[in-house]
């Protein structure tokens, strides 16, 4: 078994692979001050609860955008599984070339998403990840990661709205039936969701125009991405597990090397 672990700003997601097959996923909130024992016990107990033999775990691969947790997390894998994890970063074979001004600035999650989008859906491809930040990244037909866009995530925008405006309540993020709202909650939902649909379509359209690449597939992932993908024809595919699949693809490339 392979454990593919995506450590994000809000939570981390663990995928259990047998070969290329994603068998299971589970997640935990990302907290900076967790100990290696907390991480290790959580992963072991969850695997055992789901019926897996932890002795079958042969390798672990990690993509992280939270450097502060990596010492404890790496220690947990070493201590509880006896394995040194593969960490996505400089020197890792990915199958794509980062053709940006400063490749080292590109987050591991964006690289992994780009690899999965390119390998699974072909290039040129725009990969949109609706996370704490929403990222839009373009990979060309010949596998060059040429750049992208970063914007506040939907939930990040919502948190700013109700934390900074005293009279606005915390709300459920969902699309209202009509954009012309007759109450505060529905007006906020409309602004967030319809506004984000508009942003998504505009950014994708401008990326396609500037690239001059003609037909480009657009693949979305991330927690609230499904809601947006269902409301626009600008997104061709939604893949909830794109990042985990990308980690598995990168893992295979290390073994083939």
Q: Quickly count: other Cβ atoms within 10 Å of residue 32's Cβ.
A: 8
What's the CA gap between 52 and 126, in Å, rounded?
36
Q: Which of 6, 109, 113, 239 is catalytic?
A: 109
Whether 137 is catalytic:
no
The H or E element that residue 37 is part of is: helix 36-49
Which position has the token pair 């939907």?
154
| Alpha helices by DSSP H, 82-224 | 108-121, 154-164, 184-211
User: Pairing state of beta strands 237-238 and 217-221?
Assistant: parallel
C-alpha torsion sign, points 201, 229, 9, 66: negative
Contact 81, 62 (CB under 8 A): no
- 163 burial (CB, 10 Å; 0-12 / 13-18 / 19+) is exposed
Q: Give Cβ neighbours of residue 142 (< 8 Å, ≥ 6 apart).
A: 123
Catalytic residue annotation: 109
């Amino acid at each position: 078994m392979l454990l593919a672990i995506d450590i994000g700003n809000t939570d981390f997601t663990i995928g259990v692979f047998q070969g290329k097959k994603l068998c299971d996923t589970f997640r935990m909130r990302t907290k900076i001050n967790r100990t290696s024992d907390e991480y290790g016990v959580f992963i072991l107990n969850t695997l055992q609860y789901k019926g897996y033999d932890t002795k079958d775990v042969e390798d672990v691969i990690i993509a992280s955008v939270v450097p502060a947790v990596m010492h404890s997390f790496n220690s947990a894998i070493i201590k509880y599984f006896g394995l040194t994890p593969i960490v996505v970063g400089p020197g890792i074979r990915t199958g794509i070339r980062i053709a940006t001004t400063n490749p080292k600035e590109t987050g591991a999650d964006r690289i992994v998403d780009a690899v999965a989008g390119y390998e699974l859906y072909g290039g040129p491809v725009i990969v949109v990840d609706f996370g704490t930040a929403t990222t839009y990244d373009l990979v060309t037909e010949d596998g060059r990661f040429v750049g992208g866009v970063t914007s506040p995530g939907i939930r990040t925008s919502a948190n700013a709205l109700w934390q900074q405006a005293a009279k606005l309540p915390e709300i459920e993020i969902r699309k209202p039936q009509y954009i012309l709202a007759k109450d505060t909650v529905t007006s906020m939902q409309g602004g967030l969701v319809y506004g984000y649909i508009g942003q998504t379509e505009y950014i994708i359209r401008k990326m396609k125009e500037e690239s001059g690449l003609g037909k480009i597939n657009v693949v979305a992932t991330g927690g609230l991405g499904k809601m947006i993908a269902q409301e626009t024809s600008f997104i061709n595919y939604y893949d909830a597990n794109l990042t985990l699949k990308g980690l598995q693809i990168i893992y295979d490339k290390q073994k083939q090397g």
